[in-house]
C-alpha cells in the first residue's frame, strides 16, 4: 500500500499541474480539470476506504470523508430544489480546488508518516 500511496500522491500533483496549465491555455478547459482531478481523487478515496485497515490514515481523512458526504447529501437535496441548483454548482466550483489540495496534502502527510515509521527501527 505504501507504493500505491506514493504513486497516488504524485499522480495527483501531475494532474493538478497539467490541468492548471491546460486551463490557462483556453478559458473553458478548466471545467475538464475538475472532472480529471476529481475523478482520480474519488477513485483514490474509494481505494483508501476499501484498504483502510492496511495503512496509516491521517486524522484529517475522517473529516475529509465527512465533507464529501455532506457535499453529496446536499447535492441530492439541491436536486429537488430547482432554484438552488445554480448556487450549489457555483459553490462547488469554489470549494472543489480546496478539497483537491486538502486531499493531496493529506496524502503527502501520510507518506511522510510512513517514511518516518520505516526508519524507527534504525534508532
Alpha carbon 87 to chain centroid, angstroms: 22
> What pLDDT digit, counting tens, does each position of 110-123 carry?
888 888 877 666 65
Residues of the chain with pLDDT under 70: 1, 54-55, 119-123
Find where cell 480539470 sits: 33
**Predicted structure pTM score:** 0.83
Which distant-in-sequence residues (6+ apart) come within 8 Å of 109 by Cβ?
Answer: 58, 60
CA dihedral 64, 70, 74, 76 (to 10 degrees): 90
- Residue 45: HSE in the Cβ half-sphere, 13 Å Cα cutoff: 22
Res 121: pLDDT: 65
The predicted structure's pLDDT at residue 27 = 76
Terminal C-alpha separation, the chain: 24
65 vs 12, 57, 60, 62, 99, CA distance in Å?
18, 12, 9, 5, 11
d(CA 94, CA 91): 5
Structure confidence at residue 61 (pLDDT): 86
Amino acid at each position: 500500500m505504501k507504493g500505491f500511496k506514493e504513486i497516488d500522491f504524485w499522480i495527483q500533483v501531475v494532474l493538478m499541474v497539467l490541468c492548471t496549465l491546460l486551463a490557462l491555455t483556453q478559458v473553458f478547459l478548466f471545467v475538464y480539470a475538475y472532472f480529471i482531478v476529481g475523478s482520480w481523487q474519488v477513485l483514490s478515496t474509494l481505494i483508501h476506504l476499501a484498504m483502510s485497515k492496511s495503512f496509516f490514515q491521517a486524522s484529517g481523512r475522517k473529516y475529509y470523508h465527512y465533507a464529501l458526504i455532506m457535499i453529496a447529501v446536499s447535492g441530492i437535496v439541491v436536486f429537488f430544489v430547482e432554484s438552488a441548483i445554480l448556487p450549489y454548482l457555483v459553490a462547488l466550483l469554489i470549494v472543489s480546488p480546496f478539497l483537491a489540495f486538502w486531499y493531496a496534502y493529506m496524502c503527502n502527510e501520510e507518506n511522510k508518516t510512513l517514511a518516518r515509521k520505516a526508519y524507527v527501527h534504525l534508532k
